Structure 1
């Protein structure tokens, strides 16, 4: 366990140092050698964690996906499905608030480069699938009506989350204000679920 923890710490250090260099010099102007020098590691060590420089940018999205799975597991026994979902998304928005410059840089770079589109779309699809599975489990527990379309609900929730992210990026708005906007949109979706006969919470 300790070994795994140290590996994760080193991966996060490489990520943090890389982002710092990207911010200072621009993504295209930073080499893997500069990253390894800043981290005090060999190139081989870098490649053990990231197959190429571009993979560093994907680390944020992968981390958010892991956070979604952790939140689902941590809160799955809560009787209120709405609160489970809001807690899940709140955790993601708090990452914006904790490191706004880092999140803006990573997302902006990924949007700028075509090479990231397919990888990012795969992560978004996994995000949607995780929500769909969670909603299906909620049906089994009686927290959501059987006739509710889990895939459609997950797709809409994913859409309003990423819409909130784009607004935050373009407007420079405070992350907590964006979370409030997301919650307003979420409430509209939730009312739609209830209107189709879902379990009231």
Structure 2
């Protein structure tokens, strides 16, 4: 691999500084209360420099949050292929919740959810983008569950996925508004198991 030139190193450093400063300001003042001008002043760069690296404030958050999708890619080969589809979904969510609590953290997740509820975010925002790795994996498991007769036959895979996604977002939201005694991984496992039970084919 070729080494970076001094110009490339400077550009990378500027981008990282913009990313860190933006996230720090979002956490301190709230996403909707921080302007791009505040970010650029704190970094001593122009607005044009900011837009060179990030199309919008929300893209700053996504840059950090997209680390999740790299994590999901590593999970794909770790989930036991002999588990039923519901078991694979539970294991996927368990690992996701552990990652959110130990790596991503509440501050960034609060910022992501706050930003998603403002008019500064496009309609098909990252939290519900079907191209995300976790949703692609979920669809594989759901289709598998339908084909093997584990899940109900009267609901399409897309509808089942929408229900399970709401389950995930509801638990994460509860985690964000509760104190630290809210165990996200445990609550997610219990709640998701109940939801999955209702989606199973009982015939």
Unaligned runs of 5+ in 1: none
Correspondence for 2:192: 186
Matched residue pairs, number? 187
Correspondence for 2:128: 124
Larger-Rg structure: 2
How far apart, CA to CA, are the structure 2 residues paired with 1:143 and 1:10?
Answer: 53
Aligned with residue 165 of structure 1, among 169, 172, 180: 172
- TM-score, normalised to structure 2's length? 0.67
How far apart, CA to CA, are the structure 1 residues paired with 2:141 and 2:16?
Answer: 28
- TM-score, normalised to structure 1's length? 0.67
How far apart, CA to CA, are the structure 2 residues paired with 1:2 and 1:190?
Answer: 49
- Structure 1 residue 12, shift from structure 2 partner: 6.5
2:87 pairs with 1:83: yes
- Structure 1 residue 19, shift from structure 2 partner: 0.8
Counterpart contact for 2:21–2:42, Cα < 8 Å: yes
Structure 1 SS opposite 2:82: coil
Structure 2 SS opposite 1:118: coil
Are the structure 2 counterparts of residues 44 and 173 from structure 1 closer, same or farther at C-alpha, using a change threshold of 3 Å?
same
* Root-mean-square deviation over aligned CA pairs: 3.9
How far apart, CA to CA, are the structure 1 residues paired with 2:13 and 2:77?
Answer: 22
How far apart, CA to CA, are the structure 2 residues paired with 1:129 and 1:22?
Answer: 27
Structure 2 SS opposite 1:78: coil
- Structure 1 residue ranges, 4+ long, deviating more than 6 angstroms after superposition: 6-13, 41-45
